[in-house]
Structure 1
Amino acid sequence: MKRITSEAIAALRIDPRQCVGWVREAFLMKGRAQLPPKISLHPQGSDFINTMPCLLPAEYRRFGCKVVSRIRGQHPALKSEMMLFDSSTGEMVALVNCDWITAMRTGAVAALAIRTLRRSRASVYAFVGLGVIGRATLDCLLASCAGERMHIRLMRYKDQAERIVGEYGGAEGVSFSIADTMEELVRGADVVVSCITDADGLLVDDPALFEPGVLVVPVHTRGFQNCDPVFDKVFADDTDHVRGFRYFDRFRRFGELGDVLAGTIPGRESDQERILSYNIGIALHDVLFGAKIELEIPPPSLCRKCDGGLIIDRLPIGCRAA
C-alpha cells in the first residue's frame, strides 16, 4: 500500500490547467460512476466531519472514500484523507493526504463553472475569502483564462488582499483592486466568487445589488441563500447534494453543471440571466484526482534492514529489525 503525502503530491508539480481538465473529465463520467451523497456530521457549532465515497467507472478500477473536516482553529481550515481501493479486488492501494486535492479540485471546479456559465465579455471578477481555496480558485482561473484581460476585485480582510496583489500582480493582462464593503465588491461585477468557509448570515442583504448577467459562485454554499429563489438559474455539481437546501423547491430553473458540459441541457442562454453555481464538492473529483496521482507515485520499497516491512513516507512499517 502506498502512503501518499502532501509533499509527494506537491513534488509532481501538477499544472492548474491539468486540474481543470481532470474535473471536466470527472463531470463527463458522472453518469457511469456511483456517487452517494456525502454524510455530514457536526461535532460542535459550525464544525463538520464529512464522509465522501465514490466508485469510478469500471475501466478506472478505483473506489475511494474521503474524510474531510473543518474544525475551528485548525490550519488549514479544511483537512482530509482518502482511502483508495482497487475496485476489482477490494485491495486498499493507497492512503492519500487530500489537503492539496481538496483545494485544487475545488478551485478547478469553480474555474470550470466560471468559464462555462459567465456572460460574454465578462471582465470583472470579485473574490471574497482569500485563503487556501480562494488561492486555488484564482490559480485555476488565471491558468485556464490565460491571455484574457481580467480585473480582479478583492475583499479586504487582514492583509490577505494586499498579499494576493503582491503575489499575482505580475500576471499579464490582469489588474487588481481592493474593496472595503460587500456592496462595493459586488456592484458591477460580472462574476462573484465566495471562498469563505464560515458565515453566520447573509453576505449581501439585498439580491438587487447583483446586476443582470452576474454569475455568483458560492464555493462553500454559504451566505447567498436569499439569491436562491430570485436568480434566473441555479446549477450544482450533483442534485442529491443540494436537494436539502432550504429553497431548493423554489429554484426557478435548476440543472447539473455536468449536463451543461455534456450539452444535454442549456447553460447560460442570455447575458441578462443572473446565475448561481453551487460547487458543493463531490467525491467523484477527489477519487479521480487520487487515482491519477496514485499512478504517478512509485510503490513503497522493502525495508533494507529486514526485507520485511515496507518503507512508507520514509518510515519503516512493521520492520522486524527496528
Structure 2
Amino acid sequence: MTDTSAAPTAPAGIPVFGDDKHLRILSTSDLAGIEISLADVVETVEDAYRTLHAGRSHNPRKLSVKPEDGHSVSYAMLGRDGSRNVVAIKTSYKHGLDKGREEQHYYTALTLYDDVTGLPVAMMDCSRIGSLRTPAVSALLARECAAPGARSALVIGTGTQGRLALPFLLTTVPGLERLMVYGTHPEGIAAVREQVRAHFPSRDVEVVTDLRAAAADADIVVATAGAHTPATVEAGWLKPGALSVLVGHGLAPSTLHRADRVIATSEAQMHVTGTDMADADGTFPAVDAELPAVIAGIITGRSSDSERIFAYNSGLVVTDIALGHRFAQLALAQELGTEVPLWQ
C-alpha cells in the first residue's frame, strides 16, 4: 500500500495523484480500456492550443537524434501546460526505418508531474495518446482551413494515424459526404472502414485506387502514410480551394512550395521533422500562420475560398500533456495502473 503520510496536500479542487515515493504506471492495456469521446479529445487538444497561444504554456523545440544510416530516429520533448499546471516529458524512439512496417519497433512514453503539489502524476505508454491527438489536430486544421462547404475528404495511409482520421474529420466537419481512403495494406483499409462505422454507423468509406483522380476531387487531403508509401500527390493534382494536411508521407514537396497559403502547428518543428519537404537548397517557404494563433482567432486559417492551403501537422508536446493528463484523471477514477516504488 502506498504511504501518503508525507505527501503534500493540493489546494481544493486539484486532484492528488500519488506521493513522492511512488510512480503510477499506465500500460497500453490500462489506457485501451478507457472510454473517451472524439469530441472530448478535440476539446482537450483545442484547449491546449489556446493556452499555449495565451502564453501560459511552454513548448520548447523538440530534440532529435538520427544515426547517419537513418535506421532509427528518436525525439525528446519537454513542456508545461499552464491550464492544468502540469510539467511533462515525452520520449519517442523508432527503430527499423529501413525495413518494412512489420519489422519496425516503436516506443513512446509520457511522464507527467503536478506543478502545484510537486508530485508525479503518472508515466504512460503514449501510443494511444498520439493515435488520438494527431487526427484531432488534423480535424482542427480542417475545421479552420477547409473551404466553406467542403464535401469530400481523402485519407492517404491506413496505419495508426490514418485509422481515426476520418472519424475525427466528421466530428469537426460534419458536412462531409464523400469519404475516401487510399492504402496498400488490406488489413489497414479494413481497420479504417471499421473505425468509421464504429463512430458513425451510417457512414462508409470508399476505397480508391486512382490516387490522382481521388485527390483531384477531394476538398481535404490528409496524408498519413509511412515512409515507404508509393503515394505522392502533386500540387497540380489538387483543385482550387483544396486543403492538404501532411502528417506522415503521401504529399510531394510541390504541395508545400506551390501552395497559396501555408499553415503549421509549429514552423520551428516543421523545419526539424519535415526536412523531406524542403527544396533543393534545403529551404522552406514562409509559414503564413501557426495553428495556435488560428485557434485563438488572431488570424484566419483561410483568406479566400479558392486558395490551395498546405498544413503541416507536427505534434506539440503541450497537446500530449493535456490529453495525457485527461487520461490520467480517467485512469485514477477507475483505479487503473500500477504504483511502482521508484524513489525508495
**Bin of the TM-score, shorter chain as denominator length:** 0.7 to 0.9
- In the TM superposition, 1:140-179 aligns within 5 A as 140-146=168-174, 148-159=175-186, 160-165=188-193, 168=196, 171=200, 174-179=203-208
The residue aligned with 1:305 is none
- Give TM-score, length-normalised by structure 2: 0.79
Q: Distance in 2 between matches of 1:300 and 1:156?
A: 37
Residues 208 and 252 (structure 1 numbering): CA distance in 2 closer, same or farther, change over 3 Å? farther
Q: What TM-score does the superposition give when structure 1 sets the normalisation length?
A: 0.84
Residue 45 of structure 1 is matched in structure 2 by 70
Residue identity over aligned pairs, in percent, reads 22
Q: Equivalent residue for 1:54? A: 79
2:88 to 64, 85, 99: 64
Per-residue deviation, 1:195: 0.8
Does 2:310 align with 1:261? no
Other structure's SS at 1:196 match: coil
CA distance in 1, matches of 2:104, 2:136: 18
Determine if contact 1:51/1:67 at 8 Å carries over to the other structure: yes
The match for 2:44 among 22, 46, 57 is 22
Deviation at 1:165, TM superposition (A): 3.4
Match of 1:84 among 106, 112, 115: 112
TM-aligned CA deviation for residue 76 of structure 1? 8.4
Find the partner of 1:133 among 135, 158, 161.
161
Match of 1:281 in 2: 315
Asked if structure 2 preserves the Cα contact closer than 8 Å seen for 1:199 and 1:222, the reply is: no
Alignment equivalent of 1:234, drawn from 250, 259, 262:
262
User: Do the aligned partners of 1:199 and 1:223 also contact (CA within 8 Å) in 2?
Assistant: no
Tell me what 1:198 maps to. Answer: 227
CA distance in structure 2 between the partners assigned to 1:209 and 1:41 by the alignment:
35
Give the Cα–Cα distance (whole angstroms) in 2 for the partners of residues 316 and 241 of structure 1: 34
Is 272-281 or 289-298 further displaced after alignment?
Answer: 289-298
Return the structure number with greater relative CO, CA threshold 8 A, min gap 6. 2
Structure 2: gaps of 5 or more residues:
1-22
Deviation at 1:300, TM superposition (A): 11
When structure 1 is superposed on structure 2, of 233-242 and 210-219 the one drifting more is 233-242
Task: Tell me: CA distance 1:173–1:36, structure 2 relative to 1, closer, same or farther (3 Å).
Answer: same
1:35 aligns with 2:59: yes
Give yes or no for contact 2:158–2:183 (8 Å, CA) kept in 1: no
Q: Is 1:81–1:96's contact at 8 Å kept on the other side of the alignment?
A: yes
Helix, strand or coil at the partner of 1:138? helix
Structure 1 residues 124 and 299, CA, compared in 2 at 3 Å: closer, same or farther? closer
Structure 1 residue runs of 4 or more that deviate by more than 4 Å after TM superposition: 73-78, 199-202, 247-250, 315-318
Distance 2:176 2:265 in 1: 28
With over 3 angstroms needed to count, the CA separation of the structure-2 counterparts of 1:154 and 1:4, relative to structure 1, is same
Provide the C-alpha distance between the structure 2 equivalents of 1:272 and 1:261, rounded to a whole number of angstroms. 21
